């Protein structure tokens, strides 16, 4: 799935593949493979608030976070100053907010997530031979970088930060405008977040930042919904919940905007870490039968006398009363339920976990059987290996894709980039008021990329098969549409 991994309360310093040091990174790339272009890598990442440091000589106060941390203060100030100047310059022409600045060697992405707060990320463009045919000379390959992808990465960085620390302004307000606490929180969060950010692996799925839904028939879906309702009725302390099966969302009582952030966190960070911890526990503790709880977040053991509250606290934004919640994640085989309990002064009691465990375990096991039997009756059709697709529904943020299957092959990567390009076209078209379109593109490599947009839904297909006519490609696209999009979203 997505390549963004999340820091959380139970973050472990497990395998860090990546050293966040551009200079080191570049050196390594150039020495290892002369003919392969270097990959996109981050140059800096900073956050500032324009309301601070307005008096001369104290401009540094506006910087709330700057990475790399050991940057010279003058360089920091120049970067912030340049960003501010660009934003102001653009304002002369139009009220639209600044999105990106292209230079020969870098891309600078801009985001104003809350009034007066600006997040800027600068990335190094890949550097290397222009194409595989031209071996002489190297160049900055701006054409290989789709800005929309990294803009999405920046947005995700913010939404994840807000999930854990809450809106930036609220932290300032709580401290009477003093920036110390906010700086500390930003620093704690981003230094780990950036460590795990693999820019080069980001693609169109980051742009959509959607949620995968589980295709179900009416009965099974209703059964799932009943189950969730029952949980909420039995435990009134649970204010929201979310049900997932095998990485796919089954039901959620949250706004899609909140769902996507929580979904990303649970699927890409919590569950993989839980799996890993389980695995290590089984292997490591010399055969002793460690009893594992079904709680992904919560107590390590339900009989533990020394219990400490370890659930992550997450901030939900798009609800009636935005605020922090305990996130309790409970897992039976492939079925996962996330429960949101309002955070107040008292920690969650162990007794509650015990009750939840008793209530959930059996019922969830039953539900799994039902879901499994439906999945058996309606198996997913597999596609030809040379076609890949992405689907995105703007209304409910549903995505469905088969992109990851052949990742790493350069020609496939170029095709995936072409999908982003196509998506940009569609975004531009919709800005002009054209909401439905169909586009076919044949690349010089004789591969095809197809994009459809209508009804706030977008569907993109890459066909890596040569010598197809437009008509044949059209047929391939139609077939995939029929196979993949049949009855997925009936519950929307």
Partner 1 sequence: MPVGELTSTLANAPGYEIDPSRVPAVTPAEISTEVPLKSSDLGNSAELPTEATSLEIKSCSSSATFTMPAADVSLVTSSVLPGLGSSSINALSANTEEPSELSESNTPSAVGMNGDDESGSHKDNFEGRGCERAALNDFKANVIIEAEPKASESNQEKDLVVEESDLRDSIETEAWRGEQRHVFVLSSSGKPVYSRHGSEDKLVTLFGVMQALVSIVEDSDDKIESIHFGKNVIVFQVRGPIILVAVSKKNDSVLFCNNQLTYVYNQIVSVLTLKTVTSIFERRQNYDLRRLLAGSERLIDHLLQFYETEPSIFMNGISYIPMPSAHRESVSSAIVSACSKIKNLVYAVLVANNKLISLARKRGYSMSPSDLHLILNMVAASESLKTAESWTPICLPNFNIDGFLYAHVSYMADDCPACLLLLTVDQEQFFQLSEAKMKITEKLVKNKSMTFINEVLKAPPSLWMSLHALGLSKIRHFIYKCRKTSIVVSSPLSPPYSTTEEANALFTKYQTLYSSMIHSNPQIHTLFQTSAEESVVCLLTEKYEILVAVEPMVKKQLALDMITKLCQWVQSEEDRFFLSSVPYL
Tell me which residues touch partner 1 (CB under 8 A): 78, 81-82, 85-86, 88-90, 92-94, 96-106, 131, 141-144, 147, 414, 417-418, 421, 425, 428-429, 431-432, 434, 436-445, 469-471, 474
- Of 201 and 413, nearer to partner 1 (C-beta) is 413
Reference 81, options 105, 111, 53; nearest CA is 53
Helices 218-234 and 350-377 pack at an angle, to 10 degrees, of 180
- Of 80 and 194, nearer to partner 1 (C-beta) is 80
- Of 51 and 435, nearer to partner 1 (C-beta) is 435
Query: Minimal distance in Å, beta carbon 4 to partner 1?
Result: 23
C-beta neighbour count of 460 within 10 angstroms: 27
């080069």: which residue's tokens? 200
Query: Minimal distance in Å, beta carbon 290 to partner 1?
Result: 52
- Of 131 and 483, nearer to partner 1 (C-beta) is 131
C-beta neighbour count of 137 within 10 angstroms: 8
Token pair in block for residue 456: 């706030």
Query: Minimal distance in Å, beta carbon 60 to partner 1?
Result: 18
DSSP 434: -
Query: Minimal distance in Å, beta carbon 413 to partner 1?
Result: 11
- Of 196 and 203, nearer to partner 1 (C-beta) is 203
Query: Minimal distance in Å, beta carbon 99 to partner 1?
Result: 5
3 state DSSP class of 81: helix
- Do the beta carbons of residue 271 and residue 296 sit within 8 Å? yes
- Dist CA 426 CA 29 (whole Å): 35
- Of 174 and 470, nearer to partner 1 (C-beta) is 470
- Dist CA 186 CA 192 (whole Å): 10
Reference 317, options 389, 240, 372; nearest CA is 240
- Of 308 and 469, nearer to partner 1 (C-beta) is 469
- Of 361 and 428, nearer to partner 1 (C-beta) is 428
- Dist CA 411 CA 415 (whole Å): 6
H-helix segments, 235-270: 256-265
- Of 229 and 411, nearer to partner 1 (C-beta) is 411
- Dist CA 414 CA 411 (whole Å): 5
- Dist CA 13 CA 7 (whole Å): 10
Query: Minimal distance in Å, beta carbon 50 to partner 1?
Result: 16
Reference 127, options 28, 36, 248; nearest CA is 36
Query: Minimal distance in Å, beta carbon 55 to partner 1?
Result: 21
Query: Minimal distance in Å, beta carbon 415 to partner 1?
Result: 9
C-alpha 449 chain-centroid distance = 24
- Of 294 and 423, nearer to partner 1 (C-beta) is 423
Query: Minimal distance in Å, beta carbon 444 to partner 1?
Result: 4
Strand ranges (E), 362-434:
387-393, 398-401
Cα distances from 462 to residues 127, 208, 342, in angstroms, run 26, 17, 44
- Dist CA 446 CA 468 (whole Å): 8
Reference 185, options 163, 161, 157, 158; nearest CA is 161
Half-sphere exposure of 430 toward its Cβ, with a 13 Å CA cutoff?
A: 16
Query: Minimal distance in Å, beta carbon 114 to partner 1?
Result: 18
Query: Minimal distance in Å, beta carbon 101 to partner 1?
Result: 5
- Of 94 and 380, nearer to partner 1 (C-beta) is 94
3 state DSSP class of 381: coil
């Amino acid at each position: 799935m997505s390549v963004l991994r999340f820091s959380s309360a139970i973050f472990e310093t497990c395998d860090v593949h990546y050293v966040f040091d551009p200079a080191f990174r570049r050196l390594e790339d150039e020495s290892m493979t002369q003919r392969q272009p270097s990959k996109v890598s981050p140059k800096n990442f900073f956050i500032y608030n324009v309301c601070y440091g307005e008096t001369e000589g104290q401009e540094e106060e506006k910087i709330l976070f700057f990475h790399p941390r050991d940057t010279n203060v003058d360089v920091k100030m120049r970067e912030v100053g340049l960003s501010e100047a660009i934003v102001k310059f653009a304002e002369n022409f139009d009220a639209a907010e600044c999105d990106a600045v292209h230079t020969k060697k870098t891309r600078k992405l801009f985001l104003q997530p809350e009034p007066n707060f600006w997040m800027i990320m600068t990335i190094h463009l890949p550097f290397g031979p222009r194409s595989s045919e031209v071996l002489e000379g190297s160049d900055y390959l701006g054409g290989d970088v789709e800005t929309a992808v990294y803009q999405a990465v920046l947005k995700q960085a913010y939404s994840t930060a807000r999930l854990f620390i809450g809106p930036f302004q609220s932290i300032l307000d709580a401290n009477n405008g003093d920036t110390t606490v906010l700086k500390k929180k930003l620093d704690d969060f981003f230094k780990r977040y950036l460590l795990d950010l693999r820019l080069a692996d980001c693609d169109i799925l980051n742009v959509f930042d959607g949620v995968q839904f589980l295709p179900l028939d009416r009965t099974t879906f209703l059964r799932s919904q009943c189950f969730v309702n029952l949980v909420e009725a039995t435990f009134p302390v649970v204010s929201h919940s979310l049900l997932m099966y095998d990485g796919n969302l089954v039901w959620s009582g949250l706004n899609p905007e909140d769902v996507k952030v929580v979904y990303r966190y649970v699927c890409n960070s919590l569950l993989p870490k839980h799996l890993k911890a389980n695995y290590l526990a089984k292997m490591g503790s010399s055969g002793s039968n460690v009893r594992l709880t079904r709680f992904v977040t919560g107590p390590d053991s339900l009989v533990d006398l020394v219990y400490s509250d370890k659930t992550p606290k997450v901030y939900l934004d798009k609800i009636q009363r935005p605020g922090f919640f305990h996130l309790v994640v409970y897992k039976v085989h492939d079925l996962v339920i996330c429960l949101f309990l309002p955070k107040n002064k008292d920690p969650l009691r162990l007794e509650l976990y015990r009750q939840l465990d008793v209530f959930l375990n059996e019922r969830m096991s039953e539900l799994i059987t039902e879901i499994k039997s439906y999945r058996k009756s309606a198996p997913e059709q597999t596609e030809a290996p040379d076609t890949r697709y992405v689907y995105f529904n703007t209304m409910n943020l549903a995505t469905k894709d088969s992109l990851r299957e052949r990742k790493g092959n350069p020609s496939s990567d170029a095709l995936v980039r072409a999908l982003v390009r196509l998506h940009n076209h569609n975004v531009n078209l919709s800005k002009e008021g054209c909401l439905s379109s169909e586009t076919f593109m044949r690349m010089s490599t004789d591969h095809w990329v197809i994009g459809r947009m209508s009804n706030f839904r977008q569907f993109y297909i890459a066909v890596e098969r040569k010598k197809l006519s437009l008509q044949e490609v059209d047929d391939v696209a139609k077939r995939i549409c029929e196979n993949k999009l049949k009855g997925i979203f009936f519950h929307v």
